[in-house]
Structure 1
Amino acid sequence: MAHTKVQMSHLTASTMREVAARNPVILLPLGSFEDQGPHMPMGDYLLADAMAERIAQQATQNGLETYVAPVLPFGGADYFGYMPGGIALSQTTFQAVLTDMLTGLLRHGLTRLIILNGHGGNCTMIHDVTHALWRQNNVVIPSFYLWRVAASLMPQIMGAEVAGRSGGHGANPLTSIGMFLKPELVENTKIPTQSHEKTAWGLKVLDFGTVDLNGVPVSIPLEGDSTATQGVGRGNPALCNAEDGKILTQKLVDYGVQLVAHVMQQSA
């Protein structure tokens, strides 16, 4: 694939004016800066940005002019305030920042926008912001939650049994994708062995902020140091590998390009 300049931050002002006049698709990658496990870089926004670059490159090669807005590296706060050095935005601040980012693009007629989300703590405010902008401007801004989509694809790629054992925060799909996209940043010697079952508030932990009350899930306001082990949730990161990461990455690129094409078609 021939490399073209798709990062908006790499364009000159004069080029950006020419680009804006054509109203191309703009991808807005969102991520977080938090505990991703002892083996993974804290900046998972790097992976969201890398994925956006690949989608934009492929879409542009397919004749669908697409660019990548500067990545927002800080996500909405949820379970990771315990992490030294971690930076998150309060939900109200994230809402305001995302609104300003999208409004700044819409102001100049850039209406073909796609959010590439890489953080679960962003989901509620993404909906609230895009819903408000739809009501104000009659513009649909879809959100493509990268890692949720990747998790849904895991059973067909690695089998249901491995997908079930390896899926979770600090494990699949992000660790496998990181091993493929940013292998120099993954410290394989620090990959932990699978942890034993955890309890919090006297109950078995199901996931971040969720415990089991006799078979019924109950949400509790505890952070990840109480419900995970070194940032690793349910999955076993020792089962992750770059080969699966490559397949997951290509699948995400394929679906991302399909979404770009659909946005183009809907706004033609």
Structure 2
Amino acid sequence: MPSSYYLAELSAAEMREAATRKPVILLPMGSFEDQGPHAPMGDYLSAARIAELIAEKATADGVETYVAPVVPFGGEDFFGYMPGGIALAQSTLRAVVDDMLRCLLRHGLTRIVFINGHAGNCGVINDATQKVWLEQEIVIPALYLWRVGYGLLPGILGKDVAAKSSGHGCDPLTSVVLHLFPHLIKSQYMPGPTVPGKVWGLQVTGFTSLGIGEGGTITVPFEGGDTVPNGVWGGDPTLCSAETGAALVEKLVAIGAETAAHVVRQSDPKTGKAIV
């Protein structure tokens, strides 16, 4: 077996040999944007590291798995206000994802899993993988880390604490970073929970939503800098911890490894088509 889980570190000879065994290929994606004043802008760092841990566990469990280079720039949404942040237009990201899949699929590398760390990537990943399914009958799943992480938090912290700690710039991302990259958290900048303000004469209810009337909500074409200036929304970052992050990562890695194993179980070893 090759000595690395990273495709980029394999020699050409190692890769050719590995390809004949039809391994699982993980495609980590993230973003480079405002994650709150205390957290590193690159949430792709966490996606890449979790993907590596998934590959390590899956391979140890008997499912040969590798990690492709991470795509660090996420699909553009409402974080363009961040100085230094870099995002790709949705059409550009779609072209990138299509090309990544084309390069792998042409060589019969059909066992693919996206490890995604950014909401703005979800639509592109879904559309690109649906195209592959409709044209080639190959299922390429995506594990959106933070969506799964939100669902795991009540079981780790309890329902009440999870509700207070969950949000953008809070749990699950901040706790995961505290566990994986503690030196990158700048605690001196960590705020408490955001107090919603008003924009355009209405109460802010989200990055691009405002409350109106009795219980009504409308979406507006603002960026996050207009509605949530410090990038923290929905929770209290001070409730995050490395211990919570360790529990989250352990569960995310287990789910990712099981996803890799399921992809192998449910794909024809000769054609790569899904067994449905």
- TM-score, normalised to structure 1, is 0.97
Equivalent AA in structure 1 for residue 242 of structure 2: A
Give the equivalent residue in structure 1 for 2:273. Answer: none
Give the equivalent residue in structure 2 for 1:242. Answer: 242
Give the equivalent residue in structure 1 for 2:80. Answer: 81
CA distance in 2: counterparts of 1:179 and 1:43, whole angstroms: 14
How far apart are residue 4 of structure 1 and its match? 5.1
1:209 has 2:208 as partner: yes
Correspondences of 1:56-135 after superposition (within 5 Å): 56-135=55-134
Equivalent AA in structure 1 for residue 162 of structure 2: A
CA distance in 2: counterparts of 1:140 and 1:43, whole angstroms: 29
- TM-score, normalised to structure 2, is 0.94
Give the equivalent residue in structure 1 for 2:172. Answer: 173
- Where do 5+ consecutive residues of structure 1 fail to align? none
CA distance in 2: counterparts of 1:255 and 1:184, whole angstroms: 26
How far apart are residue 92 of structure 1 and its match? 0.4
1:194 has 2:196 as partner: no
Give the equivalent residue in structure 2 for 1:53. Answer: 52
Segments of 4+ moved more than 2 angstroms: none
CA distance in 2: counterparts of 1:208 and 1:243, whole angstroms: 28
For each residue in 1:62-110, what CA deviation from the matched residue of structure 2 results, as whole angstroms up to 9, or x when unmatched? Answer: 1110000110000100011101100000000010000001111001000
The alignment's C-alpha RMSD in Å is: 1.2
- Where do 5+ consecutive residues of structure 2 fail to align? 269-276
How far apart are residue 195 of structure 1 and its match? 2.4
Give the equivalent residue in structure 1 for 2:251. Answer: 251
The question of whether the paired residues in 1 share the 8 Å contact of 2:193 and 2:233 is answered with no
1:145 has 2:144 as partner: yes
User: Secondary structure of the residue that 1:27 maps to in structure 2?
Assistant: strand
For each residue in 1:102-137, what CA deviation from the matched residue of structure 2 results, as whole angstroms up to 9, or x when unmatched? Answer: 111001000000001100001111111111111122
CA distance in 2: counterparts of 1:246 and 1:153, whole angstroms: 12
How far apart are residue 50 of structure 1 and its match? 0.3
